[in-house]
Structure 1
Amino acid sequence: MTQPPNDSDAPGPASDGSGQEKPAPSHTAPQQSEQPPQTDPAGAQALPPVAQNGSTMAGPPAGAPPPPPTAQPAVTAIPPNAPPPNPGPPPPQYYQPMPPPTPQRSGRATAIVISVLVLLLVVGSTAAYITVDQTDMLATPTGDIEPGTADDGPPPRPDDDADRLEVIDFVEGTIEHDLGNRSEALLDNDREGWMRAVDSPADEQMELLFDNLQTMGVSRYDFDVSRPREGSSDDEYEIRVTVTQCFSTPVEDCWPIDGDYHTTWQDLGEDEGFELTGFEADDSEWTRPFPWEIEPLTALAGRNTLAVAPSHMEGELDNYLSMSEGAASVSDPWEVWEEPDQYLVFFADKNAFDEWFGGIDDNDGGVLGYATVLEGTIEGTQKNSASITVMGVDNHRDNGQLRSTVRHELAHAATRWAAPEVRAKPEAWWFIEGIAEYIDQGETDVRSYLRSYGMKDFVDDGLCDNGIVPSDSDDGEEISAKYGCAYLGVRYLLDNFDREQFEEVFAAVGREGKTVKIQVESILDVDYDDLMSDIGDYIREMI
């Protein structure tokens, strides 16, 4: 992601060997004045003030002198060609909008992933990417058991002398029937039906799920059941279940999200049937736990977004939805590859931010937010589906900074929604971050672009002449400058080539993982090295 002037998308989190990556902390950025929100003409939400180009206005007025320099701590950059962490948290995009703070990056990053991790620090905007191979993640087809498919009743119980295969077939058919009924009860808001034949320790988990799924407007909840295996005690069975779910949108329009669960069932005999005794999220998935699995939530749906927060933050929900709807309106013109059903925007306090979707190791509060693509079952095949965005509310200094983070993250979600390829080449970094920054900033006066204050010396030294990619030798200011160069590089392309050509290049390098040089030269009919030289000249002229 990109950040506004002098903000930083810090390059990625680091792996500490435990499978968890550590995003770098950021520091307090200068205060940004906030303008009163506008009224949305369509009537629903208050939107942030926007510039003529449609981007939210931020930063000092044109011609204002640069802010005084602040002391910057040392930082460690992430090599863009480092191997992916294993297994790692969601490769999101961390973005902090605002003036130049110093991003600190640690960890290993490589090619940009469909879900990109971007760390936004408070001084220079820097971004970091973490690659996670998603190809082996939920390989089983899912969503076979839909509401209303249990009408035929469970299979007949086999005789006492039946062989093991017959018994397993019976258990599988019975559980499928049970879960079909539960799905139907959930969508009918029937708590009693959902909780039928549930015993400890599954009862608390199922109650929480029911409440949160209703709060989020669940519209689809299909199950796929693996083959049962015998449990640790007599008449106990363990079954892996995959759920395909949608929220707050009609099933025919939704981009679903899949999640695996480990379930346990007790066979109580012919008279009482099966009882659900365990329903636990598969914590081997790097995107787990989902927020709705672990704590009470509050949610509010708008025309284009669903804003979700811990229940104790309900008083801020109108504000969060307003930010989300405003950001969606800015991203809307760039929904050119896939059309999101709605943006899922999660607003987390510190505890939630450390745990939701795998958690972020962020002791210093330097990570402001991220976006990542989740998988879902579409027409019987599991593939990259909806993008979710998560904001670390406690890490923002004010409402204006939070609004900017939401806007930046939704820009990434819009441009990489359901992208078919997990990985992008490292040299595509400036395309991916540059377009998100451009969506946020538009054709703003560069003198009002906060990042520009820290760019001049680096640009004069040729920092952005030979490709715009963070390296392991970059410090926070250099990374922030490269975010600015990415923004101006994309702006140059949009000023000098047809937008359709740019969209074609971005689709190839940012969504399909193709080689940047080959695609640029083929589609734009220019020499890539000459183009980068021209962009370097353009940036020097603008700065």
Structure 2
Amino acid sequence: MPVAGPKRRRVWRWALPVVVVLLLAGAVPVALVATGAADAETPAEAAAPTENPTTVAARQVSERITAQLDRQATALLAGDRAGFLAIADRKVHSELRRRFAGLQELRVTRWEGRPNGLPTPAGSPGEWRLSVEFHYCFVVPDCRPSPLLVNTRWRDGAEPRLIELAKSTATPQVGGRVRAQAGTLPWEVSKLAAAVGKRTIVGTTPAYRDRLPELLRRAEAAARVADEYVVDGAVPDRYRIFYAGPKEWQRWYGGDQPEWGAGYAVNVGGGHYDVVLGPDSFNNRAYLDVMLRHELVHAVSLPDNSYWDDSVWWLIEGLAEHAGADGVPVARYDGLIPTRKLVKGDWNGKLDSLIPAEDASAEEATGSYGISYLAVRYLLDRFGERKVLAFVKAVVHDLRVPRQVSEEVFGKPWGKLQGDCAKYIRRAVG
């Protein structure tokens, strides 16, 4: 009886139909000043509209807060912890100390915060709520920055004081207007230790600091493989990789992972995907290398949006599995046994319904990944890397369905080509 394969990975996606509630100021009302009869006779002298006093006050508060955010950013980039804390009430200092330390470990090179809309009264006199959007870079000063939206509360004055700083929460991407947000980031909730290489930055909690040298070495090797799978644009300036202990696995990026998951790549914007490795990653060093190659290929091959449909899951994961396998013969693919079981079971030969359910067994999930791997391997062996990456760009980045682009890219209709894939897969599993 076949045994279940190791836990597999998944790339994080966002549900599109969910509606986002933005914590922004409402529409600005306009009041017209009444005029007398004489004014009516001279339209050129008619009174101009005046802005709502609450809006005027909110704009002035926003300007003062922006100045404070600029001071804090300057302090962070200068390594000045006292200056970083200085804009905040003492009750927020412990939160800020942890973030300061984590950002320094990750070699923050760019940090700026700007109000995302106008502040709104918080209820208590002189207090305001404000959604702040931060942009940050690690290691490379001129990177394309990742955005982060957080809710804050301030006490106004000549120099407003930060009195509450929330952790970021996950939001979906809606209608192209609001980008997806990943959820709570490691440096928002955990003490971190990190190491930097030529192509990667790796981080974990201090309890696992001793694993960083090995993780960095293996991540650098995986990055050299992943760099060959760029689909659109350039490779990331640094791949960002975090190793999670059991506690962090439940907290980072929302912690909502299926039982069969062992790691994932999550979109954090700015062309970056953070890679998270689960607690069991170091149990098998060879499998750790496979997982790193797999997840880093997600980071280099996926677009900076999450609009793709579940029907192309096989293509996304199959490409990553191919990188993970790193050229081993099909007979040595580590998920071959559960793949054979699924193929010889109730698989219908189609590729567009392979995504495993959240409650799928590890064996079922591994079989779905395996079919995806074999399908992409068939396409690569038959048509070559250039055409397959062009197909990925058209389907995953440009959101065109396979039947629209198959003849354009491969010179074959998709129905025929999918049938050929299925025949290859059935032969490959024996």
Class of the TM-score when normalised by the shorter of the 2 chains: 0.7 to 0.9
* 2:335 aligned partner, one-letter code: R
Question: Structure 2 vs 1, CA of residues 457 and 288 (structure 1 numbering), >3 Å: closer, same or farther?
Answer: closer
What is residue 481 of structure 1 aligned with on the other side?
367
What is residue 229 of structure 1 aligned with on the other side?
120
What is residue 315 of structure 1 aligned with on the other side?
210
Contact 1:424 1:514 in 2 (8 A): no
1:133 corresponds to which of 4, 11, 16: 16
1:348 corresponds to which of 216, 236, 244: 244
Q: Give, in whole Å, the separation in 1 of the partners of 2:340 and 2:257.
A: 33
Alpha-carbon offset, residue 447 of structure 1: 1.9
Q: Going by fraction, where is helix more abundant, 1 or 2?
A: 2
Question: Structure 2 vs 1, CA of residues 193 and 454 (structure 1 numbering), >3 Å: closer, same or farther?
Answer: closer
What is residue 308 of structure 2 aligned with on the other side?
424
1:260 corresponds to which of 139, 142, 149: 149
SS at match of 1:287: coil
Alpha-carbon offset, residue 388 of structure 1: 0.8
What is residue 411 of structure 2 aligned with on the other side?
525
Alpha-carbon offset, residue 464 of structure 1: 6.1
Alpha-carbon offset, residue 372 of structure 1: 1.6
Question: Structure 2 vs 1, CA of residues 455 and 196 (structure 1 numbering), >3 Å: closer, same or farther?
Answer: closer
For residues 161-202 of structure 1, the C-alpha deviation after alignment (integer angstroms, 9 at most, x for no partner) is x95444333222111111111111111112222122421322
TM-score (norm 1): 0.65
Q: Which has more radius of gyration? A: 2
Unmatched 5+ stretches in structure 2: 25-51, 172-180
Q: Does 1:292 align with 2:187?
A: yes
Contact 1:199 1:275 in 2 (8 A): yes
Alpha-carbon offset, residue 368 of structure 1: 0.9
Q: Does 1:182 align with 2:78?
A: no
Contact 1:367 1:395 in 2 (8 A): no
2:230 corresponds to which of 325, 332, 335: 335
* Count of residue correspondences: 389
SS at match of 1:432: helix
Alpha-carbon offset, residue 222 of structure 1: 1.2
Alpha-carbon offset, residue 476 of structure 1: 5.3
Q: Give, in whole Å, the separation in 2 of the partners of 1:239 and 1:491.
A: 50
TM-score (norm 2): 0.81
SS at match of 2:242: strand
Unmatched 5+ stretches in structure 1: 1-67, 71-99, 102-120, 142-161, 377-384
Q: Give, in whole Å, the separation in 2 of the partners of 1:445 and 1:284.
A: 40
Contact 1:126 1:479 in 2 (8 A): no
Alpha-carbon offset, residue 526 of structure 1: 0.8
Contact 2:182 2:267 in 1 (8 A): no
What is residue 78 of structure 1 aligned with on the other side?
none
Aligned-pair RMSD on alpha carbons? 3.0
Question: Structure 2 vs 1, CA of residues 450 and 475 (structure 1 numbering), >3 Å: closer, same or farther?
Answer: same
Aligned 1:98-497 pairs, distance under 5 A: 100-101=4-5, 121-122=6-7, 130-133=13-16, 163-225=53-115, 226-251=117-142, 254-268=143-157, 273-283=159-169, 285=171, 287-338=182-233, 339-360=235-256, 366-376=260-270, 385-394=271-280, 397-416=283-302, 419-456=303-340, 458-459=342-343, 463=347, 465-467=349-351, 469-470=353-354, 477-497=363-383
Relative contact order, higher structure (CA 8 A, sep 6+): 1
Contact 1:425 1:515 in 2 (8 A): no
Q: Give, in whole Å, the separation in 1 of the partners of 2:11 and 2:129.
A: 40
